[in-house]
Structure 1
Amino acid sequence: MAALRTGFKVASLGAVGAGVAYTGYQYYTTTQFFFVRAHAELPSDSKAALKKMEWKGFTELKLQSSEQVNHNVKKLTFALPDDDSITGITPITSLLTQHTPDGGFIPVFRPYTPVSDNDIAGTVTFMIKKYPGGKGSGKMHSLVPGDTMKFKPLQEFEYKPNQFKSMLFVAGGSGITPIYQLTRAILKNPEDKTKISLVYANNTEEDILLRQEFEELERQYPDRFQKLFTVSKLNQANDGSIAQGYVTKQMINKIWAGKEAGQKVLVSGPPAMVEAIAGAKGGFGWTQGSVGGILKELGYTKEDVHKF
């Protein structure tokens, strides 16, 4: 699935035709598509706060650079309105894209989570995975420097520093982008003492997005962050640092002390993985649903878990 998630707050109903809008890991007709209020609070740095963008509806941004990361992922960097602007969005917030396909008249909406920090001046960067027939990812991959795309912030999970004693993140594929955004925000804040454990699953080692970035975070914050990568197919040259297979209870227990007060678990990935780890979402993807799968076996309840 694409690097998209659900769980955002509803602001108003946008009936935009009878096409399909993809929000998170579920498909909806665009007559069911809800626009979400932009949530772009002031970052803690007062100097950066003075340069925060004022998101008013969809804002058109110009692609600055495009870099092929692997066989189906591109790193796309867009220029903000001026060199002094910052996005100012809070974790976890994605940016909803809007475009109308050539020859079409029904707009296509897709949310993508930036992997750049919200206080980086002048640009915003995404990791976009292309899917066969994907209207959103296909459009994003077709862009060349100088092309434009419209964006609007959508908050998907509200986080406050030290809100939890510890957090467990379980991610699959391109579902890692909201997890990376929040991990960076927590660890770079010296006032936030939250500890993080991450289990990240992919098909192959080449599919591990932001691998070097997570490895560097683990080296920089050994007392606050630990990770476990697992893939379905290992390279022959694997040095043992990556596990093999689907996420299991044993993998989680390897880097997670177990259920206790003050914890929160976030699960982000393809629907089949989310269901296996935490149970399927409810209401055709609109609600969190009950907790099932591995997390239920480990004793977690609906209040402990958030699914994207």
Structure 2
Amino acid sequence: MSAYFRPTAKVVSATALGAGLAYTGYRYWNTTHFYFNTAHAESLPSDSTAALKKMDWKGFTELKLVQAEMVNHNVKRLTFALPDDQSITGLSPITSLLTRHTPEGAFIPVFRPYTPVSDNDLAGTVTFMVKKYPNGKGSGKMHSLKPGDSMKFKPLHEFDYKPNQFSHITLIAGGSGITPLYQLTRSILNNPADKTKLALVYANNTEEDILLRKEFDELAQQYPDRFQRLYTVSKLSSSTDGQVQQGYVSKEMLAKVMPHKLKEANTKVLVSGPPPMVEAVAGAKGGFGWTQGSIGGILGELGYSKEDVHKF
């Protein structure tokens, strides 16, 4: 899930190009809500899942909703059934699934990407956490679905990652922009051969809005030498447990989790969240969201370059 739509420029299949043309057409109808991504050929399942069937994504695939539950006041956890119990999504990090539907009485389809929060080698189902936005055509549709209803999906690759490609990755997220970073975090930590260290700074309005907190806390306990997290919110509740800070993402917060040496070899910073947050942290994206743009904001002041940072 994400309401923050993240473009890439590489088209790797004819089917992705077809989806991309439709997607591009929509984007110019509503550029403030939607950015383009392209499909990517993923790796085969690991030996542990070799008996399972990686989904053969050709165009859009219709999946049926099997479970829906509210997570907080505006987020739903939605689980869809894959074609059979032995199928896995087979997605590589970071890859979202693009949804497509045509609202009743409309001629132009609506496209929205959502990043699964379930493991990509989980057999039988795929799960999303979807935040509903006022007048959100995509999130409104997803929240309206009931078990038995269907939605069409297609993979859209967003960031290339190879195990041990970086020694350290700093993840900076806001709101529902956490989902692609959660997907990458689990993929790295669940791979015994990957020694990459991770640090997360996750900003929200309130503690209730901190998505996947239990999951991140468990990962921090399980991998204390490889993963640390810092939560910050605009409004602290009176019952806070002391693990959450108050305030916007700042240099001081980042200094607590980022490598001490600014140019430490093979480090990367990934920023995912609402455009105002991304701009404040790393500078605005360019080309109406089509390009990475120049580095500004906090990371620019700290001396980071375009090669060090990726914005979603």
Give the alignment's TM-score, normalised by structure 1.
0.93
The root-mean-square deviation of aligned C-alpha atoms, in Å, is 2.2
Which residue of 86, 89, 92 maps to 1:90?
Answer: 92
Aligned residue in 2 for 1:165 = 167
Query: Partner letter of residue 291 of structure 2?
Result: T
User: Which residue in 1 is equivalent to 2:233?
Assistant: 231
What corresponds to 1:8 in structure 2? 8
- Deviation of the 1:26 alpha carbon: 4.4
User: In the TM superposition, what is the alpha-carbon distance from 1:48 to its structure 2 partner?
Assistant: 3.5
Q: CA deviation at 1:7?
A: 3.3
Aligned length: 304
* Aligned pairs (5 A) from 1:93-112: 93-112=95-114
1:209 aligns with 2:221: no
Structure 2 counterparts to residues 62-141 of structure 1, below 5 A: 62-141=64-143
Q: Which of 256, 278, 281 is equivalent to 2:282?
A: 278
Gaps of 5+ in 1: none
Identity in percent: 70
- Contact kept? 1:174, 1:269, Cα under 8 Å: yes
Query: What is the Cα deviation at residue 20 of structure 1?
Result: 3.8
Residue 178 of structure 1 aligns with an amino acid whose one-letter code is: P
Conservation of the 8 A alpha-carbon contact between 1:38 and 1:55: no
Structure 2 length-normalised TM: 0.92
Contact 2:4–2:274 (Cα < 8 Å) also in 1: no
Q: 1:35 to 1:105 in 2, by over 3 A?
A: farther
SS at match of 1:233: coil
Q: Deviations over 1:208-263 (max 9, x none)?
A: 00000000000000000000000000000112210001000000111223321110
Per the alignment, do residues 140 and 254 of structure 1 end up closer, same or farther by CA in structure 2, a change over 3 Å counting? same
CA distance in 1 between counterparts of 2:237 and 2:70 reads 21
CA distance in 1, matches of 2:148, 2:252: 48
Q: Determine which of 146, 158, 177 is the counterpart of 2:148.
A: 146
Q: From the superposition, tell whether residues 61 and 91 of structure 1 become closer, same or farther in structure 2 (CA, over 3 Å).
A: same
Q: Residue 114 of structure 1: SS of its match in structure 2? A: coil
* 1:297 alignment partner, one of 276, 296, 301: 301
Q: Encode CA deviations 1:80-132: one digit per residue, 9 max, x unaligned.
A: 00000000000000000000101112111000000000000000000000000
- Matching residue of 2:310: 306
Q: Which amino acid aligns with 2:5?
A: R
Query: In 2, are the aligned partners of 1:4 and 1:24 still within 8 Å (CA)?
Result: no
2:45 is matched with which residue?
43
